[in-house]
């Protein structure tokens, strides 16, 4: 299909394409609203490697980066969950009792991001209850700052400090909602265009295939087209034979 044909085809279906894009955008918006928790509480931490053995800055930085990865994985562990409960800031029943379900639910309720170059780790707690989300975030901070030795070697002199937070906000954010809606609209438009082009090509091929099997019902025409008539005399004789039937 040439470009001008493509543009002409899309131009005829512009209304349907835009409508489908709006539909997909609305679905994306609704799914994000229903799927996400109502509140998000974020806290930023700074991981500091203390210089006890006259180590150079690069070594200290790499050590802090390594500890950050360890703590990152440690936060998702059952040991960390138990320590969070021991702080007394959250109810022990805020997670399921089954170990597998407990870990899965905990993993869904927190999001961790790191900036290893700066030794910064950010933890966001997602929950439908704002008060509980703040309590969980405060419990996480207590474990990381006071009991981080449980998740690293005893020989490492590490400090974990709260840089900012906990900061509570509605979830999902306006930016996420806009991104989901716009992304859904663009996806819907592309899918609609692909479907229209596919249907048009399929119909064109079907029409072309059907046209190649047209049968000429006139026997004289068939004979003429096949080159069976050698001269006028034979042609006239054939006509007389047909009239006599």
Please report the pLDDT score of residue 152 as a whole number. Answer: 73
Domain boundaries defined on the chain:
3-33+176-211, 37-171, 218-245
Q: Best-predicted range by mean pLDDT among 2-16, 82-96, 222-236?
A: 82-96
Confidence of residue 229 (pLDDT cuts 50, 70, 90): very low
Asked whether the beta carbons of 111 and 123 are under 8 A apart, the reply is yes
Q: Is the pLDDT of residue 215 over 50?
A: no
Going by C-beta distance under 8 Å and a sequence separation of 6 or more, which residues neighbour residue 199?
none
pLDDT value at residue 180 = 85
What is the phi/psi pair of residue 166, to 5°? -75, 135
pTM: 0.60
Local confidence band at 208 (pLDDT 50, 70, 90 cut-offs): confident
Fold of 37-171: Alpha-Beta Plaits (3.30.70)
Residue 139's pLDDT is 94
Q: What is the pLDDT of residue 213?
A: 47
Q: What is the pLDDT of residue 65?
A: 76
In whole angstroms, what is the distance from residue 161 CA to residue 65 CA? Answer: 15
CA neighbours closer than 13 Å in the CB half-sphere of residue 94: 22
Pick the range with the lowest mean pLDDT from 130-139, 199-208, 220-229. Answer: 220-229
| Cα separations in angstroms, 12 against 178, 191, 209 | 29, 16, 25
Model confidence at 235, in pLDDT bands (50, 70, 90)? Answer: low
Structure confidence at residue 135 (pLDDT): 93
pLDDT band, very low/low/confident/very high, at 226 (cuts 50, 70, 90): low
Average confidence score pLDDT of the chain? 79
């Amino acid at each position: 299909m040439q470009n001008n044909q493509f543009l002409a085809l899309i131009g005829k279906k512009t209304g349907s394409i835009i409508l489908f894009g709006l539909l997909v955008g609305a679905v994306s918006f609704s799914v994000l609203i229903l799927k996400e928790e109502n509140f998000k509480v974020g806290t930023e931490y700074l991981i500091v490697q203390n210089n006890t053995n006259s180590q150079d800055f690069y070594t200290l930085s790499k050590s802090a980066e390594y500890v950050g990865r360890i703590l990152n994985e440690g936060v998702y562990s059952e040991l960390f969950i138990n320590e969070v409960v021991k702080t007394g800031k959250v109810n022990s029943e805020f997670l399921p009792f089954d170990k597998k379900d407990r870990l899965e639910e905990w993993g869904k309720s927190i999001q961790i991001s790191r900036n290893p170059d700066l030794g910064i780790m950010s933890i966001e707690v997602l929950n439908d209850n704002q008060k509980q989300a703040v309590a969980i975030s405060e419990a996480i901070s207590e474990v990381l700052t006071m009991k981080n030795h449980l998740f690293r070697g005893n020989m490492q002199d590490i400090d974990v400090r709260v840089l900012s937070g906990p900061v509570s906000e509605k979830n999902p954010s306006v930016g996420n909602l806009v991104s989901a809606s716009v992304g859904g609209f663009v996806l819907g438009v592309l899918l609609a265009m692909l479907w229209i082009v596919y249907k048009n090509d399929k119909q064109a091929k079907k029409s072309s295939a059907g046209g190649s099997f047209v049968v000429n019902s006139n026997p004289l025409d068939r004979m003429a087209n096949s080159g069976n008539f050698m001269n006028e005399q034979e042609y006239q004789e054939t006509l007389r034979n047909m009239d006599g039937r």
